[in-house]
Amino acid sequence: MAFTSSMAVVGAQAGPNYPAPMLAIKNMQDAATLGRDAALEVEAKYFAKAAVTPQASALIGVFLADQGVKKAAGAWEKKSKKEIKQAAVLGAGIMGGGIAYQAAYKGLPIVMKDIRDDALALGMNEAGKLLAKQVEKGRMTPAKMSETLGRIRPTLNYGDFGNVDIIIEAVVENPKVKKVVLAEVEGLVREDTIIASNTSTISISLLAEGLKRPQNFVGMHFFNPVNMMPLVEVIRGKQSSEDAVAATVKLASRMGKTPVVVNDCPGFFVNRVLFPYFAGFHMLMRDGADFQAIDKAMERFGWPMGPAYLMDVVGMDTGVHAAEVMAQGFPDRMRHEWQNATQVLVDHQRFGQKNGKGYYVYAPDKKGKPKKSVDPATYDLIKGVVAERKEFAPEEIVARCMVPMVNEVARCLEEKIVASPQEADMSLLYGVGFPPFRGGACRYVDQTGAANYVAVADKLAPLGRIYEVPQLLRDMAASGKKFFG
């Protein structure tokens, strides 16, 4: 009875994609009445079963890829001779407060500057809430919380910026606003001060155009929520110096993050490959798929949330803005002439969790966290831009969402936007929650087989350019090569 109950609990927690926990329970059940030697034989049998699963191979690959990413970051850090004693963040609010919290939590003093008192209050409140949670969990004493909060210095002026070693700009995602702020602060800091923009999509080379010292300017893309997401993309613009990139990598590591250096392009790496995934989702809806069915299929595939739910969490207005940046940067495959469902919902002031209405509607649960439920009004609002409801097989839903993403990952490798398959895979795991048991987009291709992947993608090619297989993947299919040996 105990083992049966345990299997029910463990099976519910582990789910179908992680077989090892269930094998461990069965191992214990079979060996419970045996002597030592016989029990060891049973254990060896179950260990062998677990060791040859594709999940085991993928998770071992994740461990090795993680080590490779950390080694690459370490090599960058060794290039930097710059000491970072004082940081600053421009722009308070949720993101600025999160960045300030992360720096202070890791022992780095940081100035948080904004032009409004209420924004500074919001930023300090965000940092305070995050620290209070550490106290509640017993990870920090109230005295340590006070000391950490004291490392954040809120200000309405640039008076303290003369001694700042590195500045993280986190103002509104608008290139005109960012250029004004960046030019302003550059004129008030030391000549060796590094300036990093926490933009999620805007080209670093574009933002550097008005700067006098573009060699000191890089991108530093944090993911939201800052305290939870491990990844930081460090973006090298056309004129970014090796010293600036190395110092920014060092800062990200000091803040407890996993930095991955990528070259500049619209969306950088993570958002550039994420938005073709969203495009596949929107095309499915256009062709009659139910967004709830899409979410369920992608969650069964292993994503922590399906694309509709993810769009709600990201912020649908943010998603529409980012999609437009992608469309401008890659019009041949990311621009479309039809209106998608997300655009319609945003036009009706549905922005996702931030205002309680998106594809789903949200209300606080007992712990105060947003709980989603289905809103029939969503279907009424989008009926003008979607076809009559049609059922799609789960494997077709997966293919139509995943092929655009995987194709774009391959293009980024071809163009050297990201340096290696390891860094590509770990960026997706750490940045957007790619299913760990699948190992990342590159390892997913390896386990599927490049030839099998290309065959599936070619059947979808009539749907549009985002389904056209890049040459890298065609060459791999023809030669039988893999991303990982």
CATH 3.40.630.40 fits 81-263, yes or no: no
Structure tokens at 147: 């000391």
Rounded-to-integer distance, Cα 205 and Cα 452, Å: 38
Q: What does the pLDDT read at residue 1?
A: 60
C-alpha count within 13 angstroms, C-beta hemisphere, residue 281: 25
Residue 308 confidence (pLDDT): 98
**Spelled out in words, what is the top-level CATH class assigned to the domain 271-416+449-479?**
mainly alpha
Q: Helix (H, G, I), strand (E, B), or coil: what is residue 218?
A: strand
What is the SS3 assignment for 169? strand
| Residue type, position 266, single letter | P
Per-residue pLDDT at 203 exceeds 80: yes
Its pTM stands at 0.93
Q: Cβ–Cβ contacts within 10 Å for residue 192, how many?
A: 13
Which of 221, 282, 336, 348 is flagged as catalytic? 221
- What does the alpha-carbon distance between residue 181 and residue 287 come to, in Å, rounded to a whole number? 43
Q: Indicate if 271-416+449-479 has the same CATH topology as 81-263.
A: no
Averaged pLDDT score across all residues of the chain: 94
Which residue type occupies 257? K
Peptide bond into 225 cis (omega under 30): yes
Confidence of residue 3 (pLDDT cuts 50, 70, 90): low
Which tokens sit at 485? Answer: 């040996």
> Average of pLDDT values for 110-127?
92
Q: What is the pLDDT of residues 352-388, one digit of tens each?
A: 999 999 999 999 888 888 899 999 999 999 999 999 9
Dihedral (CA of 171, 173, 176, 182) sign: positive
CA–CA gap between residue 151 and residue 325 (Å, rounded): 36
- What average pLDDT does range 145-151 have in this prediction? 93
pLDDT recorded at residue 291: 98
Query: Residue 94 above 90 pLDDT?
Result: no
- How does pLDDT run across 326-340, given as a tens digit for each residue? 999 999 999 998 999
Query: What pLDDT is recorded for position 395?
Result: 97
Please report, for the chain, the start and end positions of each structural domain, with discontinuous segments joined by +: 2-52, 81-263, 271-416+449-479
Is the alpha carbon torsion for 129, 130, 135, 138 positive or negative? Answer: positive
What pLDDT, on a 0 to 100 scale, did the predictor assign at position 192? 95
Residue type, 393: A
Which segment, 11-25, 364-378, 418-432, is predicted with the most confidence on average?
418-432
Q: Is the pLDDT of residue 46 over 90?
A: no
According to DSSP, the residues that pair with 194 across neighbouring strands are 166
- Asked about 336 being catalytic, the answer comes back as no
H or E stretch at 195: strand 194-197
pLDDT digits (tens, 9 = 90+) for 284-343: 999 999 999 999 999 999 999 999 999 999 899 999 999 999 999 999 999 998 999 999
pLDDT of residue 312: 96
How much is the pLDDT for 365? 87
